[in-house]
């Protein structure tokens, strides 16, 4: 209890100091008062002894001396004994005579008490009979007791005729000193009692601010910085309380600032386009933002363990700290940058990683490389043909007019092929830059589909393909750019015949679907794998890379179709069954929608 309470410690310290001080003062007073009392008693007895000696010296009737000891004892207040010059006791007061003997009692009478006629022969007697005053304290063989004795010679005309000895028992003197000691003791008890109350009050007054500081400190530890310590004085405790209150205010401001910064940081982390994932090296998740869950496609609540297939590549990234590591997770490619750290809450080794889904970026890079290769090939092939046939005509290698006409037609077709490629690139550039303009007018979709189909029948015949048209009648008038609609259907037909083997069938259908017009181009080609369908509308994308170069496709047709349809406020879709064919559809809103 005392060990845990500063109030009790202060109280005990103050009381202990007072008790020790009172004990020291009591001992000192005991010694001082004892010495003073004995010295005062000896001086009194010496003065009375000298007075009695003078009285005895002037007393002419020496025969009456034997009866004067008791009387003199009562006058002196002590025991009195008178001896002559030879050391014989002339008269000695009774053991109970004199004030100094009242404390003896009858049982104090010792055997061998001096009586008249007894001869005394001690060093003290010889000295007093020699004319010297003798004072002695302690055991007296003459009285067989502890006495304080004062012996004064009786001189008549300068000659020692005897001596008067005053004596008092030490017990009576000690009793008087004991009374003084009791008085000191009782005074000490009262002082201790008063000091105990004052010390308790002082200790509580001193520790009250400390207790209040402790209460406020506990509130601060719990996150409550509103508590304040009352400042009731200007001393050290008052200044300490003021400093403590200032500390509380500063901490409140600092914690509030840190909370704001933490909130900002959390908003920044949660708003990042990249994923952030912190985890202990044993795989336990510490923190993640929504983007990390979106990229990894799993839930990442704090406290659970990461899947093994994810943990191993992440640890590899941690080992390559400071470097960007690419990991493959299912169909994704994720760039990971990791840094190790010491997690404060658990004290364990942990790591924080930045995750970026670069699957689309990688695919785009691949598509660009393929596009450059395709464009290079598409440019090189017609240019090679044009150059070859032109050189043949220039060198006169054509045998006749008909052969020269064939050479010229080949050059013309290859030039048209180059023009189509350039037009596609030009359209793509305008769409990307947002500079595509539409010339909107009323369009008869049945007439437009028939017109486009007629243009492509010769191409279909060359590839031994059948082209069927099925337009539901009647269809409402459509508000659109007729030239762009022809380009859309033409690109779908180009895509269809390039991927349909000879003997196959291509079909164009148009019908109203609710508040939209639906146009479909289907083929009986080899189809598209399901995992490829989401990417066929992307720029530069080709399903069959090896075949695309030989059939003249650049990978831009479907991307242009999607952009032109969306520019009209429509949408596109595609479905395919591998080995049976594909269906490419687009929807355009009808007039008023």
CATH H superfamily, domain 272-355: PAS domain (3.30.450.20)
What residues contact 463, with CB distance under 8 A and at least 6 apart?
497, 500, 502
The answer to pTM > 0.85 is no
Instruction: Count other C-beta atoms under 10 Å from residue 226's C-beta.
Output: 10
For the chain, what is the mean pLDDT?
A: 80
> Which of 446, 423, 427 is closest to 435 using CA atoms?
427
pLDDT value for 586: 95
Instruction: Sketch the domain layout of the chain as residue ranges.
Output: 1-57+65-94+115-224, 230-271, 272-355, 363-433, 441-589
Just give the CATH number of 441-589. 3.30.565.10
d(CA 470, CA 487): 19
Q: What is the pLDDT of residues 384-442, one digit of tens each?
A: 888 888 888 888 777 778 888 888 888 887 888 788 778 777 777 777 777 778 889 99
Are 508 and 467 within 8 A, CB to CB?
yes
Just give the CATH number of 363-433. 1.10.287.130
- Span 185-212, mean pLDDT? 80
Instruction: Say if residue 58 is exposed, middle or buried (CB neighbours under 10 Å; 0-12, 13-18, 19+).
Output: exposed
Asked whether residue 365 carries a pLDDT value surpassing 80, the answer given is yes
Q: What is the pLDDT of residues 62-102, one digit of tens each?
A: 445 545 677 777 767 788 888 888 888 887 876 555 444 43
Asked whether residue 273 carries a pLDDT value surpassing 90, the answer given is no
Instruction: Could you list the beta-strand ranges (E) of 373-504.
Output: 441-443, 466-471, 478-480
- Span 499-525, mean pLDDT? 92
Just give the CATH number of 1-57+65-94+115-224. 3.30.450.20
d(CA 184, CA 190): 10
Q: What is the pLDDT of residues 460-478, one digit of tens each?
A: 888 899 999 999 878 888 9
Domains 1-57+65-94+115-224 and 272-355 share a fold: yes
- What is the DSSP secondary-structure string of 84-151? ETTSBEEEE--TT-SGGGTTT-GGGPPTT---TT-B---HHHHHHHTT--EEEEEEETTTTEEEEEEE
pLDDT value for 99: 41
The sign of the dihedral angle between the CA atoms of 389, 393, 397, 402 is: positive
Asked whether residue 107 carries a pLDDT value surpassing 60, the answer given is no
pLDDT value for 62: 47
d(CA 207, CA 5): 9
pLDDT over 90, % of the chain: 12
Higher pLDDT among residues 525 and 33, named by residue: 525
- Span 309-335, mean pLDDT? 82
């Amino acid at each position: 209890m005392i060990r845990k309470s500063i109030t009790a410690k202060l109280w005990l310290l103050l009381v202990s100091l007072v008790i020790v001080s009172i004990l020291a003062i009591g001992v000192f007073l005991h010694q001082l008062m004892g010495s003073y009392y004995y010295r005062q008693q000896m001086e009194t007895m010496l003065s009375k002894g000298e007075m009695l000696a003078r009285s005895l010296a002037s007393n002419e009737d020496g025969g009456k001396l034997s009866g004067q000891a008791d009387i003199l004892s009562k006058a002196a207040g002590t025991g009195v004994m008178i001896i002559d010059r030879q050391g014989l006791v002339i008269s000695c007061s009774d053991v109970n005579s004199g004030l100094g003997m009242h404390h003896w009692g009858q049982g104090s009478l010792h055997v061998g008490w001096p009586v008249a006629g007894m001869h005394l022969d001690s060093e003290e007697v010889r000295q007093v009979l020699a004319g010297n005053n003798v004072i002695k304290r302690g055991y007296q063989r003459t009285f067989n007791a502890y006495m304080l004795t004062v012996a004064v010679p009786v001189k008549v005309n300068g000659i020692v005729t005897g001596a008067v000895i005053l004596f008092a028992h030490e017990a009576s003197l000690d009793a008087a000193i004991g009374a003084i000691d009791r008085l000191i003791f009782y005074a000490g008890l009262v002082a201790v009692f008063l000091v105990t109350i004052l010390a308790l009050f002082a200790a509580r007054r001193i520790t009250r601010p400390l207790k209040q500081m402790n209460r406020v400190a506990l509130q601060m530890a719990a996150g409550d910085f509103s508590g304040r310590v009352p400042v009731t004085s200007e001393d050290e405790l008052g200044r300490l309380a003021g400093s403590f209150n200032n500390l509380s205010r500063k901490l409140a401001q600092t914690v509030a600032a840190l909370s704001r910064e933490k909130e900002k940081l959390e908003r920044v982390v949660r708003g990042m386009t990249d994923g952030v994932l912190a985890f202990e090296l044993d795989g336990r998740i510490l923190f993640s933002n929504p983007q990390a869950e979106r990229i990894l496609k799993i839930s990442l609540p704090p406290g659970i363990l990461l899947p093994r297939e994810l943990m191993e590549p992440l640890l590899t990234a941690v080992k390559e700290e400071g470097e960007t590591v690419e990991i493959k997770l299912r169909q994704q490619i994720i760039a990971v940058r990791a840094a190790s750290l010491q997690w404060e809450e658990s004290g364990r080794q942990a790591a924080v990683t930045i995750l970026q889904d670069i699957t689309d970026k990688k695919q785009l890079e691949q598509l660009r490389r393929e596009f450059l290769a395709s464009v290079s090939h598409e440019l090189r092939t017609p240019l090679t043909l044009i150059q070859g046939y032109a050189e043949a005509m220039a060198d006169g290698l054509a045998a006749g007019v008909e052969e020269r006409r064939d050479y010229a037609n080949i050059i013309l077709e290859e030039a048209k092929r180059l023009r189509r490629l350039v037009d596609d690139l030009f359209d793509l550039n305008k769409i990307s830059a947002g500079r595509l303009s539409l010339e909107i007018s009323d369009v008869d979709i049945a007439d437009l589909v028939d017109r486009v189909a007629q243009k492509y029948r010769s191409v279909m015949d060359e590839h031994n393909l059948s082209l069927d048209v099925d337009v539901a009648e009647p269809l409402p008038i459509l508000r659109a750019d007729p030239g762009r609609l022809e380009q859309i259907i033409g690109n779908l037909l180009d895509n269809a015949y390039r991927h349909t083997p000879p003997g196959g069938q291509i079909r164009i259908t148009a019908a109203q679907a609710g508040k939209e017009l639906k146009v479909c181009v289907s083929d009986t080609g080899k189809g598209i794998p399901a995992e490829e369908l989401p990417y066929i509308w992307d720029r530069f994308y080709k399903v069959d890379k090896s075949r695309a170069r030989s059939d003249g496709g650049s990978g831009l047709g479907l991307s242009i179709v999607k952009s032109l349809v969306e520019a009209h406020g429509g949408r596109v879709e595609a479905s395919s069954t591998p080995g049976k064919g594909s269906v490419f559809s687009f929807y355009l809103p009808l007039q008023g929608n």
